Amino acid sequence: MSKLKKTIAILTGGGDVPGLNPAIRSLTIRAIRSNFKVIGLRKGWAGITEMVRDKNVDNSLHFLELKEKIVNKWGRMGGTFLHTSRTRPSNMPKNAIPEHLKYKYTKDKNNDLTEEVIKNLCFLEIDYLIPIGGDDTLSYAVELHKKGIKIIGIPKTMDNDVFGTDYCIGFSTCVSRTIMMTNNLRTSASSHERLLILEVFGRYAGFTAMLPTMAGSANRCVIPEYKFNIENLAKLLIEDRKKSSGKYSIVMVSEGASFEGQEMLFENNKKDMFGHQKLGGIGDMVSNKLKQISHKFNNGKTINIINQKLGYLVRGGDPDAIDSIVPMAYGNIAFDLITKGIHGKMVVIKNGKYDNVDIEIVVSNSKLVNVKQDYNTKKLRPFYKSFENRQMLIM
């Protein structure tokens, strides 16, 4: 057998989405058949941070060599068989420091283990690193890129909010699941003549609420980019309910949305290594408030509510068609770049075509709903016009 050309490492960070395994599979198979070695780093950035640089130590919990048999087994399934985490090696609290490094990193927080990550990559003789993730995962990849690590990023997130690409792995399945589950819940909403409030993903960007609403799954949606008036929402939903033959109406509520005069809601004050608090409560608050004030717009009669947080239900399960095809293409493009000796890039879809961009673009700006262009702030729903020459998924 001829000598191996290079070694590629792949990791998946942040939240799981359907489409991660197909991306790993496509890149791995191309690489192996071209005589490259492929290492899967487990648990996102945690695996390469926690491993021990000693060939006599069992590091199987931190990485494994990928073979066709392994990736074929998992390649059509949702989630990530490499597992994931929200670890940021440059900002680790004391309680997250690996046992064998506790003597060296002693601060209560903000410990920077990037030096260990780079040494570990060198120990594994990694030539190219392929992180698959969202803003957080890829922003740390930018740090490594600036320190000389050969990086090719692949964008992934349910929210579709990585700047620089039209599409992120996981978004289509999220929208498809949201539409399907909303349609399932219609029967209960109609049977009881209620308002149906669905809390969906979207910390800073409202795409996961906008697209299902645009597809006809909901009457209205509220998004992080625009603080809404709760009385206006109540009035609109009750008007929709009156017009409906089933006597119900539906609103999609982005998890990062907020009322006028109110800030984003969180479960608690704890922050992860990327500085994010866990969101929670806006769906409940909207539901409670709508029930309290519904009588004002319904001849003095209160309307009952169905309140459902879709949450992980839209993350789970197998990828849909787009999240099976796009990850396959992204993995192939990443490998093509490697064979050309190109790095410091992120593979993307831009203006409907596969392409690549400098990875620094991830941290250059934020990708949000263009409220002026796409969101009707009076009617609390997308604009249904001017589709000509727009991207397939509109936003």
Considering the domain architecture, whether residues 41 and 90 belong to the same structural domain is answered as yes
Q: Would residue 191 count as lying in a domain?
A: yes
Report in angstroms the alpha-carbon separations of 176 from 7, 14, 74, 171, 173. 36, 21, 22, 9, 5
Considering the domain architecture, whether residues 121 and 51 belong to the same structural domain is answered as yes
What are the φ and ψ backbone dihedral angles of 331, each rounded to 5 degrees?
-60, -40
Q: Would residue 392 count as lying in a domain?
A: no
Q: How many residues does the chain have?
A: 395
Q: Would residue 141 count as lying in a domain?
A: yes
Considering the domain architecture, whether residues 378 and 233 belong to the same structural domain is answered as yes
Q: How far apart are CA 39 and CA 27, in angstroms?
A: 11
- CATH number of the domain that residue 111 is part of: 3.40.50.450
- Residues whose CB is less than 8 angstroms from the CB of residue 371 and which lie 6 or more positions away in sequence, other chains included: 225, 226, 377
Across 320-354, b (16+ Cβ under 10 Å) vs e yields bebbbebbbebbbbbbebbeeeebbbbbbbeeeee
Alpha carbon 243 to its chain centroid, in Å, reads 36
Considering the domain architecture, whether residues 93 and 115 belong to the same structural domain is answered as yes
- Residues 220/236, Cβ–Cβ less than 8 Å: yes
- CATH number of the domain that residue 255 is part of: 3.40.50.460
Instruction: Tell me the average confidence (pLDDT) per consecutive run of 10 residues in the chain, 395 residues long.
Output: 82 96 97 97 97 96 96 93 96 95 95 98 98 96 98 96 96 96 96 97 94 96 97 97 96 94 65 57 92 96 96 93 97 97 97 95 96 96 85 70
Considering the domain architecture, whether residues 295 and 357 belong to the same structural domain is answered as no
Q: Would residue 42 count as lying in a domain?
A: yes
Across 226-252, b (16+ Cβ under 10 Å) vs e yields bebebeebbebbbebbeeeeeebbbbb
Q: Would residue 211 count as lying in a domain?
A: yes
Considering the domain architecture, whether residues 180 and 296 belong to the same structural domain is answered as yes
Considering the domain architecture, whether residues 102 and 162 belong to the same structural domain is answered as yes
Alpha carbon 356 to its chain centroid, in Å, reads 19
Q: Would residue 391 count as lying in a domain?
A: no
The total domain count for the chain is: 2
pLDDT for position 76: 87
Q: Would residue 324 count as lying in a domain?
A: yes
Considering the domain architecture, whether residues 25 and 46 belong to the same structural domain is answered as yes
pLDDT for position 265: 65
Distance from first CA to last CA of the chain, Å, rounded?
48
Q: Which pLDDT tens digit goes with each residue over 239-272? A: 999 999 999 999 999 999 998 987 766 565 566 5
Instruction: Name the 3-class secondary structure at 308.
Output: strand
Q: How far apart are CA 250 and CA 258, in angstroms?
A: 17
pLDDT for position 280: 61
Considering the domain architecture, whether residues 294 and 145 belong to the same structural domain is answered as no
What are the φ and ψ backbone dihedral angles of 154, each rounded to 5 degrees?
-125, 125
Q: Would residue 177 count as lying in a domain?
A: yes
Considering the domain architecture, whether residues 16 and 40 belong to the same structural domain is answered as yes
Q: Which pLDDT tens digit goes with each residue over 45-67? A: 999 999 999 999 999 999 999 99
Considering the domain architecture, whether residues 324 and 290 belong to the same structural domain is answered as no
What is the span of the domain harbouring residue 206?
A: 173-316+371-382
Considering the domain architecture, whether residues 272 and 215 belong to the same structural domain is answered as yes
